[in-house]
């Protein structure tokens, strides 16, 4: 017993020491690249070509699960163990820029033939800018558009998708009134913050005010959008409980609802999961606008590359970003993952021009705007989401709900307000 315990003890200690001391010395530049979700597995297929062109560089991809992504980045920052390069959603860029974790990219862009602002969709590019400094280079992009059932809309006299809010309301009422079975026109999930923010922004709301230190949700514009959204639940044009839609794909296939606002990832899912007889009977369209026939505003989505400030190999990392930003490499990545290319040039390829479902996205990308580029946004969005359910279910007046929302948002922004007022953050 004594001996075995002692042995275990000694060998464990020895092993720990050996491991913590050993380090690999390779002449190659090693670049650590963090990716989230399935991107990591797919991007590895693009690496051999890059490493062939740049024999002195080796890319080490680490996959981080989406659910733990934010924690990993923050603890990585606190623990000083961030990688050289990472993919980052543009809602997270302001936060890491504020922390001083990100390398400003302006000087790299100035000398790059490949990566220039005009080669990207303006709204997407902008979402990577914080206080007029570029921190991220778009890798792939997405945004929300309207998915709709052509056959159901045609049956009520709409041969085109709704272009304005009025048309959206009109077609919705017609769909609901024409059906014999109980059904809805549009699915506006009550467990997402997106519908209220989309409608609010389209109505002209800035969402936040006073240097983004206070909520502006009880303002006139946001309320217009919110009223519009809520009328869909009240008129029973949209299901007001998530329980009514157990399975989106099934609901869409059965015509339980005919329209759904969602992103490009669902194109593949719809093609896979909808029954074959529905092929060609559904389409995508830019979001309806409030007044004219211009598309309504949507949100810039997708992922960007960022370089972390402490990285000793920024030049090599930049080479890697340039490689993945080549239009043909972007197309390869699209084929591997279905993620839409960020470089506008890639969109001239027949792979995308021939795909009718992609055209709505191409149009929509011209009208995308970031909601609020501050670190607190995710928390605010989470709160809006909590309130979406209230909107769908309760009878409280909108003014009251939105005032309450503002008071929460103001609370989240307390620190930011203080930083401004005490002059610690530049106005």
Partner 1 sequence: MKKSTTQTVAWMFLAPALSALLIFFFIPIIAAFALSFTDFDIYSLGNISYLRFVGFQNYVNLVHDPLFWKALGNTLYFVIAGGPVSVLVSLGTALLLQSRLVKYKGVFRFFFFAPVVTTLVAVAIVWRYLYHPRFGLINFVLSWFGISAVDWLGDPAWAMPAMILLAVWKNFGYNMLIFIAGLQNIPEELYEAARIDGAGSFQQFRTITIPMLAPTSLFIGLTTMIGYFQFFAEPYVMTQGGPQYATISIVLLMYQHGFRWWSMGYSASVAFVLFAIILLFSIVQLRMQKGAAE
Partner 2 sequence: MKTTLKKIFLYVLLMLISVITFTPLLWMISASVMPSGDANTFPPKFFPSTITFEHYITLFTRLNIGRYVFNSFLVSLGVTALSTIINSLAGYAFAKFRFRGRDKLFKFLIASMIVPAQVTMLPLFLMLNKMGLVNTYWGILVPGLASIFGIFLIRQYALSLPESLIEAAKIDGATEIEIYWRIILPLTKPILVTLGLFTFMGTWNDFLWPLIIMTDDAMYTLPVAVGNLMGEHAPDTELMMAGSVLTVLPILLVFLFVQKQYIKGIMAGSVKG
Q: Contact between 179 and partner 2 (CB under 8 A)? A: no
Q: Which is nearer to partner 2, 1 or 243 (CB)?
A: 1
Sheet holding 145-149, edge to edge: 186-187, 259-262, 145-149, 282-285
Least CB distance from residue 408 to partner 1, whole Å? 9
Q: Shortest Cβ distance from residue 248 to partner 2 (Å)?
A: 16
Q: Which does residue 375 touch among partner 2, partner 1, none (CB within 5 to 8 A, set by kind)?
A: partner 1
Tokens of 352: 């995308």
* Stretch near partner 2 under the rule CB under 8 A, chosen from 15-23, 120-128, 170-178, 317-325: 15-23
Q: Does 76 bind partner 2 (CB under 8 A)?
A: yes
Of 66 and 157, CB closest to partner 2: 66
Residue 262 CB, nearest approach to partner 1 (Å): 18
Choose, by CB under 8 A, the member of 66, 151, 177, 418 that binds partner 2: 66
Q: Write phi, then psi, for 287 (nearest 5 degrees).
A: -65, 145
Cα–Cα distance between 190 and 135 in angstroms, integer?
A: 33
Task: Provide, rounded to whole angstroms, the least separation between the CB of residue 2 and partner 2.
Answer: 6
Are the C-beta atoms of 88 and 265 separated by less than 8 Å? no
Q: Which is nearer to partner 2, 39 or 142 (CB)?
A: 39
Nearest distance from C-beta of residue 418 to partner 1, angstroms:
7
Which backbone phi and psi does 330 adopt, to 5 degrees? -60, -40
**What is the secondary structure of 323-351 as a DSSP string?**
HHTSHHHHHHHHHHH-PEESBGGGGGSHH
CA distance 122 to 115: 13
Q: Which residues pair with 285 in a beta bridge?
A: 146
Q: Which does 424 bind (CB under 5 to 8 A by kind): partner 1, partner 2, none?
A: partner 1
Report CA-CA distances (Å) from 371 to 332, 353, 380.
30, 29, 11
Does residue 38 touch partner 2 according to CB under 8 A?
yes
| Among residues 16, 30, 117, 154, the one that binds partner 2 under rule CB under 8 A | 16
Phi-psi region of 121 (alpha: psi -120 to 50; beta: other; left: phi over 0): beta
Rule CB under 8 A: say whether 37 interacts with partner 2.
yes
CA distance 207 to 307: 29
Residue 100 contact partner, candidates partner 1, partner 2, none, CB within 5 to 8 A by sort of partner = partner 1
The residues that bridge with 301 in the sheet, in sequence order, are: 142
Residue 63 in the binding site for partner 2 (CB under 8 A): yes
Q: How far apart are CA 392 and CA 305, in angstroms?
A: 37
Could you say which of 30, 48, 68, 399 contacts partner 2 (CB under 8 A)?
68
Query: Contact, 306 vs 88, CB < 8 A?
Result: yes
- Among 158, 202, 161, residue whose Cα is nearest residue 284: 161
**Which residues sit at the interface with partner 1, rule CB under 8 A?**
67, 70-71, 74-75, 77-78, 95, 98-100, 191, 242-243, 246, 375, 378-379, 386, 389, 411, 414-416, 418-419, 424
| CA distances to 20, 21, 28, 259, 416 from 24, in Å | 11, 10, 11, 55, 44
- Mapped onto helix, strand or coil, the DSSP state of residue 372 is coil
Shortest distance (Å) from residue 299 CB to partner 2 = 23
Smallest separation (angstroms) from partner 1 to the CB of 416: 8
Identify which of residues 80 and 422 has a Cβ nearer to partner 2 in the complex. 80
Strand-pair partners of 284 = 147
Answer for which of 48, 65, 157, 268 binds partner 2 (CB under 8 A) is 65
**Which residues lie near partner 2 (CB under 8 A)?**
1-2, 5, 8-9, 11-13, 15-16, 19-20, 37-38, 40-41, 62-68, 71-72, 75-76, 78-81
């Amino acid at each position: 017993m004594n001996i075995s315990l002692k042995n275990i003890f000694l060998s464990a200690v020895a092993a720990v020491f050996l491991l913590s001391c050993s380090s690999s010395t390779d002449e190659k530049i090693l670049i650590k690249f963090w990716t989230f979700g399935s991107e990591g597995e797919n991007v590895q297929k693009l690496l051999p070509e890059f490493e062939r062109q740049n024999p002195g560089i080796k890319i080490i991809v680490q996959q981080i699960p989406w659910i733990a992504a934010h924690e990993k980045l923050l603890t990585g920052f606190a623990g000083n163990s961030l990688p050289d390069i990472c993919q980052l959603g543009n809602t997270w860029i302001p936060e890491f820029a504020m922390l001083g974790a990100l390398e400003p990219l302006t000087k790299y862009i100035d000398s790059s033939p490949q990566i220039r602002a005009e080669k990207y969709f303006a709204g997407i590019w902008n979402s990577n800018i914080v206080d007029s400094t570029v921190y991220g280079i778009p890798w792939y992009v997405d945004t929300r558009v309207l998915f709709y059932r052509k056959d159901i809309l045609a049956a009520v006299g709409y041969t085109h998708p709704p272009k304005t809010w009025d048309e959206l309301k009109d077609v919705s009422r017609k769909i609901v009134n024409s059906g014999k079975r109980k059904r809805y026109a549009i699915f506006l999930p009550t467990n997402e913050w997106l519908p209220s923010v989309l409608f609010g922004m389209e109505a002209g709301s800035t969402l936040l005010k006073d240097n983004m230190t206070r909520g502006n949700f009880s303002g006139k514009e946001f309320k217009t959008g919110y009223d519009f959204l809520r009328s869909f639940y009240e008129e029973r044009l949209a299901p007001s409980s998530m329980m009514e839609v157990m399975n989106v794909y099934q609901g869409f296939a059965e015509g339980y609802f005919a329209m759904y606002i969602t992103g490009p990832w669902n194109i593949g899912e719809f093609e896979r999961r909808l029954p074959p007889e529905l092929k060609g009977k559904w389409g995508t369209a830019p979001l309806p606008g409030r007044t004219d026939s211009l598309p309504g505003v949507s949100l810039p989505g997708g992922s960007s590359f960022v370089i972390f400030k402490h990285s000793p190999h920024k030049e090599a990392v930049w080479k890697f970003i340039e490689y993945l930003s080549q239009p043909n490499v972007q197309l390869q990545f699209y084929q591997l993952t279905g993620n839409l290319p960020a470089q506008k040039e890639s969109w001239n390829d027949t792979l995308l021009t021939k795909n009718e479902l992609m055209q709505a996205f191409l149009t929509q990308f011209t009208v995308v705007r970031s909601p609020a580029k501050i670190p607190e946004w995710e928390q605010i969005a989470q709160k809006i989401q909590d309130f979406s359910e209230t909107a769908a279910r309760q009878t409280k007046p909108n003014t009251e709900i939105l005032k309450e929302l503002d008071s929460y948002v103001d609370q989240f922004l307390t620190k930011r307000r203080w930083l401004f007022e005490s002059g610690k953050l530049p106005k």
